[in-house]
Chain A
């Protein structure tokens, strides 16, 4: 009985001493924290990817509250997160709300397409391989294919295909840009998510030289340039470049590209569908760059699906909002649904 009493008392005493020590320490060593830091930290995605340049989300939260970083510094969170952070910080102006960007691979020269100039047997890393005479591929602009980008991606969005090319899951990619920084060959770029047409080559050699080393490289034939109804694609320095601000995803250039350098989800090309609201004003027919819309004045117009390139100009111009763009991959029913809308 006595022993139990002593045990209880001594433990209580010990705990009391330690607890009071902690209380005193917490008062004496109290560090003033801005309460906004915690709230900003809560608003951030919490992926701790470090793409903003600060050590993790807590580092960025601190920097934002101290005014060292803008409220829209988190590329991963995008507009929604910067909105939240801005409201916590009491800033109405979020800053230029750029379009959401995601990373895309701008090289299609995998093991099958691109020729090799050397047999590299060193450390399996793109950075190391690129230091040896510019990498094993004959094209000095080509993806090396050891997957440094896949290793650095904190969101598991990049996988290496059997052909030795990275493929990026557009849903998982947050646009943090870590892979862009990691790639020694600069074949990953941040591009607007809404743009679907991309030139997957950056080789600036003359057309013949490119053809010699790669079957899918841009040979600067300028066919895309001529075909583009919107002046959005130009051959600069022997390689086609798309002006993403002008491009309307019509995929006309994809149709004409002889090497398949320009890629897009061609099967999912959009088509215009005119609904019953159409009053026959002919605005759409006048504006269609390919003359795909036919119809008489004051009668419902029809779209020639063969000619329609899915540029959605008619959708924008229609004063009655009678036109809907439908993915060609979608089923007939959804087109009907659009018609009755």
Chain B
């Protein structure tokens, strides 16, 4: 049991990293990886929302969609509904409970609504047939993997600022190349976890 949970974490963070191996969430991955500081903020906010979504997705799938046989055509719609309201709820709660944290998250919190990792996690949970605890860990791992990817990328991009990049590759081009190399490096984790 514990072993399974450990494997889920290793799998989502390293082997099947959502950014590098499933190629989800590339918009924020390229958009907010300019500075490590903002990358950490975005990663934390996303991890938080992902864990919540995983729990919500599990409940909706097993108590509404499956018993009534609605999965084939209502799954995506209901998940969109849940994710959007969940993010709003989290935003309001964070603003009230900790304005400092709210300021730290800034614009990133509402942006998570459109992050496709969130939808990806929600759709993968029923596919994999996880139970409640496994789903939660799966969401958490996805968030940690996303944070890892974001922080790695921002670190590299901060160094890139000071390096002599060929004129033609300046800007987005070198970032795409870097992302590709990172994805290939993550290929090296294949086989680390049996999932």
Whether B2 sits at the interface, judged by CB under 8 Å, is: no
* Residues in A whose Cβ lies below 8 Å from that of B82: 14, 18
**A7/B68 in contact, CB under 8 A:** yes
What CA separation (Å) do A186 and B78 show in the bound complex?
59
A21 touching B81, Cβ below 8 Å = no
Chain B residues proximal to chain A, CB less than 8 Å: 60, 64, 68-70, 73-74, 77-78, 81-82, 85, 88-89, 92-93, 95-97, 162
How far, in Å, is B20 (CB) from chain A's closest CB? 30
CA distance A241 to B73 in the complex (A): 77
Are B70 and A14 in touch, CB under 8 angstroms? no
Asked whether B162 lies within 8 Å of A29 as measured between CB atoms, the reply is no
| B68 contacts A123, C-beta separation under 8 Å | no
Contacts of A29 in B (CB 8 A): 92-93, 95-97
Evaluate contact between B96 and A31: CB separation under 8 angstroms. yes
10 contacts between A and B (CB under 8 A): A6-B70, A7-B68, A10-B64, A11-B77, A22-B85, A22-B92, A25-B93, A29-B92, A29-B97, A31-B96
Q: Is the CB of B60 within 8 A of A25?
A: no
Query: How distant is A65 from chain B, measured CB to nearest CB, in Å?
Result: 16
Q: Does A3 have its Cβ within 8 Å of any Cβ on chain B?
A: yes
Question: How far is A18 from B85 in the complex, measured between Cα atoms in Å?
Answer: 7
- Chain A residues with Cβ below 8 Å from B64 are 10, 14
How near does chain A come to B98, taking the closest CB pair, in angstroms? 11
Query: A25 — which chain B residues lie within 8 A by C-beta?
Result: 89, 92-93
Check if A22 sits within 8 Å of B70, measured CB to CB: no
Q: Does A237 contact B (CB under 8 A)?
A: no
Query: Which residues of A are found within 8 Å of B70, using beta-carbon distances?
Result: 3, 6-7, 10
Judge if A15 is at the interface, Cβ distance under 8 Å. yes
Chain B residues closer than 8 Å to A3, beta-carbon distance: 69-70
| A contact residues, total (Cβ < 8 Å) | 18
Residues from chain A with Cβ under 8 Å of B88 in the complex: 22
CA distance A26 to B89 in the complex (A): 8
A11, A26, A30 — most chain B CB neighbours (10 Å):
A11
Query: Per-residue CB proximity of A13-44 to B under 8 Å, as 1/0?
Result: 01100110110011011110000000000000
* New A-B pairs, 15, CB < 8 Å, besides A11-B81, A14-B64, A22-B85: A6-B68, A7-B68, A7-B73, A11-B77, A14-B60, A15-B81, A18-B81, A18-B82, A18-B85, A19-B85, A25-B89, A29-B92, A29-B95, A30-B96, A123-B162
Complex Cα distance A21/B87, Å? 12
Contacts of A28 in B (CB 8 A): 96
* A residues adjacent to B (C-beta < 8 A): 3, 6-7, 10-11, 14-15, 18-19, 21-22, 25-26, 28-31, 123
> For residue A123, which residues in chain B have a CB less than 8 angstroms away from its CB?
162
Interface contact B78-A31, CB-CB below 8 Å: no
Q: Do A11 and B74 touch across chains, with their CB atoms under 8 A apart?
A: yes
A46 vs chain B, min Cβ distance (A): 15
Contact present for B162 and A21 (CB under 8 Å): no
Within 8 Å CB of B73, what residues of A?
7
For residue B97, which residue of chain A has the nearest CB? A29
Q: Which residues of B contact A6 (CB under 8 A)?
A: 68, 70
- State in angstroms the CA–CA spacing of A179 and B73 once bound together: 56
The CA-CA distance from A19 to B89 in the complex, in Å, is 10
Chain A, residue nearest B90 (CB): A25
Docked Cα-Cα span, A29 to B92, in Å, equals 6
Q: Which residue of A lies closest to B95 (CB)?
A: A31
**Which 5 A-B pairs have CB atoms at the shortest separation, nearest pair first?**
A29-B96, A18-B85, A29-B92, A6-B68, A25-B92
Contacts of B77 in A (CB 8 A): 11
User: Which residues of chain A have C-beta atoms less than 8 A from B81's C-beta?
Assistant: 11, 14-15, 18
Which chain A residues lie closer than 8 Å to B85 at the CB level?
Answer: 18-19, 21-22
Bound-state CA distance A15–B70 (Å) is 15
Q: Is the CB of B68 within 8 A of A10?
A: yes
- Residue of A at shortest CB range from B78? A14
Q: Which residues of B contact A31 (CB under 8 A)?
A: 95-96
The minimal Cβ–Cβ distance linking A281 to chain B, given in whole angstroms, is 66
Q: Which residues on B sit within 8 Å (CB–CB) of A30?
A: 96
Question: In the complex the two chains form, what is the Cα distance from A1 to B8 in whole Å?
Answer: 41
Measured CB to CB, the nearest residue on chain B to A10 is B64
Q: How far is the CA of A14 from the CA of B70 in the complex (A)?
A: 13
Q: Shortest CB–CB separation between residue B193 and chain A, in angstroms?
A: 34
A55: nearest residue on chain B (CB-CB)? B103
Which chain B residue has the least Cβ–Cβ distance from A30?
A: B96
A191 to B131, CA, bound (A): 68
A154 CB to nearest B CB, Å? 16
Nearest CB of B to A37, in Å: 14
A273 vs chain B, min Cβ distance (A): 53
B58 to chain A, nearest CB (A): 14
For B93, the closest partner residue in chain A by CB is A29
Give Cα A28–Cα B69 distance, bound, in whole angstroms: 36
Determine the chain B residues whose CB is within 8 A of the CB of A7 once the complex forms: 68, 70, 73-74
Closest to A28 in B: B96
Q: Are B78 and A21 in contact (CB under 8 A)?
A: no
